[in-house]
């Protein structure tokens, strides 16, 4: 089992040694390794059972450090990150040769961001290399929003878990590509598209998933629990049902017929930020309830962070009919 604590020196020592460390961010916990050490990065893919064609996000703590491993930062990208870094937005740029191909799955671009968490920012300030860090969970499963989630899923594969408490955003970062023409949102996430457009103007939003992703988190089936999961609107309510075996994740009010203890309300006040923060923990809770055999989930209003929530719901329920 991994050691959990707030010892930045121990986390740093493990990373320098080429080991894996779980780090807290405002979005979800990341499984981190020295991004410039291919042997260390390979441990991430092995620990997560992550396919090598799915690229990783690189984390650091300053624009100056970002400039060491990207070819250039376009003006609109600078405007965006000057407003929202540290924060839940990742930008995709042309990479320099210093970034190993393993990190970018052979692509000539790299996804980078500066996370917003004091422990991780302090850790990043004390190392001379960036960190490759996808979410700290087995590939395709629910992302972790607390140190205990990491320990339960990957504890024996991680040298140290830096405990930063519960993540305040709760869904992964928004990814914006600046590789060609108009900026394009490749993955909806913790920064709403509306806020991005307030700073850099109109952006295109990617509408399609990919089996050969150009950025992290673009696979169609992802973020899923182990149990059967369906959209409420797609569920066959006419068949014979044992309601005690049904769990639901709803936006702001419970469903009739389902026992209240089997239902998770994402936000009693219809607050989308709160709903995003609670989504992954809701999936995890119902997945761990022995009596529940099927999880039903509903979409939330498709605005602000609701777009990211609905994106995760679509991916969690993909191929789960």
pLDDT tens digits for 23-38?
999 999 999 999 999 9
* pTM for the full predicted model: 0.90
What pLDDT, on a 0 to 100 scale, did the predictor assign at position 321? 47
Helix (H, G, I), strand (E, B) or coil at 212: coil
Is the confidence at residue 229, as pLDDT, over 60? yes
Q: pLDDT digits over 280-310, tens only?
A: 999 999 999 999 999 999 999 999 999 999 9
Segment holding 276, helix H or strand E = helix 272-288
To the nearest whole number, what is the mean pLDDT of the chain?
93
- Does the annotation list 268 as a binding residue? no
- Does the annotation list 59 as a binding residue? yes
Rg of the chain in Å (alpha carbons): 19
One fold for both 3-205 and 228-317? no
- Does the annotation list 277 as a binding residue? no
Is the confidence at residue 210, as pLDDT, over 80? no
- Does the annotation list 149 as a binding residue? no
- Does the annotation list 68 as a binding residue? no
- Does the annotation list 113 as a binding residue? yes
What pLDDT, on a 0 to 100 scale, did the predictor assign at position 83? 98
Is the confidence at residue 95, as pLDDT, over 80? yes
- Does the annotation list 52 as a binding residue? no
- Does the annotation list 135 as a binding residue? yes
Is the confidence at residue 213, as pLDDT, over 70? no
At the topology level, CATH places domain 3-205 in DHBP synthase (3.90.870)
- Does the annotation list 244 as a binding residue? no
CA–CA distance, 29 with 215 (Å, rounded to integer): 18
At the topology level, CATH places domain 228-317 in Rossmann fold (3.40.50)
- Does the annotation list 222 as a binding residue? no
The H-assigned helical ranges of 208-303 are 272-288
What pLDDT, on a 0 to 100 scale, did the predictor assign at position 219? 63
- Beta-bridge partners for 59: 113, 131
CA–CA distance, 297 with 248 (Å, rounded to integer): 6
Q: How confident is the model at residue 320 (pLDDT cuts 50, 70, 90)?
A: low
Q: Bigger pLDDT: 100 or 218?
A: 100
Q: Classify strands 294-297 and 228-231 as parallel, antiparallel or unpaired.
A: parallel
What pLDDT, on a 0 to 100 scale, did the predictor assign at position 318? 85
Q: Domain-by-domain residue ranges, the chain?
A: 3-205, 228-317
CA–CA distance, 202 with 219 (Å, rounded to integer): 25
What pLDDT, on a 0 to 100 scale, did the predictor assign at position 174? 96
CA–CA distance, 208 with 138 (Å, rounded to integer): 23
């Amino acid at each position: 089992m991994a050691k959990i604590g707030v010892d930045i020196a121990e986390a740093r020592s493990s990373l320098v040694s080429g080991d894996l460390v779980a780090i807290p961010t405002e979005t979800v916990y990341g499984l981190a390794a020295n991004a410039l050490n291919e042997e260390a990065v390979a441990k991430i893919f092995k620990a997560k059972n992550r396919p090598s064609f799915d690229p990783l996000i690189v984390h650091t703590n300053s624009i100056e450090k970002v400039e060491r491993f990207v070819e250039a930062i376009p003006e609109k990208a600078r405007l965006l990150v000057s407003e929202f870094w540290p924060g839940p937005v990742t930008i995709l740029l042309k990479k320099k040769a210093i970034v190993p191909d393993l990190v970018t799955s052979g692509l000539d671009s790299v996804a980078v961001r500066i996370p917003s968490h004091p422990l991780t920012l302090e850790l990043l300030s004390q190392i001379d290399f960036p960190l490759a860090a996808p979410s700290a969970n087995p590939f395709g499963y629910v992302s972790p929003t607390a140190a205990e989630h990491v320990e339960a899923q990957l504890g024996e594969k991680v040298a140290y878990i830096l405990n930063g408490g519960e993540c305040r955003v709760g869904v992964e970062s928004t990814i914006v590509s600046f590789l060609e023409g108009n900026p394009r949102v490749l993955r909806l996430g913790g920064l709403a598209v509306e806020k991005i457009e307030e700073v850099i103007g109109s952006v295109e939003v990617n509408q399609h998933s990919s089996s050969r992703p150009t950025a992290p988190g673009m696979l169609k089936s992802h973020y899923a629990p182990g149990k059967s999961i369906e959209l409420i609107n797609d569920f066959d309510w006419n068949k014979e049902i044992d309601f005690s075996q049904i769990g639901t994740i709803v936006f702001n009010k419970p469903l009739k017929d389902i026992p209240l203890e089997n239902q998770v309300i994402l936000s009693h006040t219809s607050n989308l930020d709160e709903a995003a923060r609670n989504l992954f923990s809701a999936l995890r809770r119902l997945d761990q309830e022995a009596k529940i055999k099927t999880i039903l989930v509903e979409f939330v209003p498709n605005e602000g962070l609701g777009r990211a929530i609905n994106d995760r719901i679509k991916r969690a329920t993909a191929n789960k009919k």
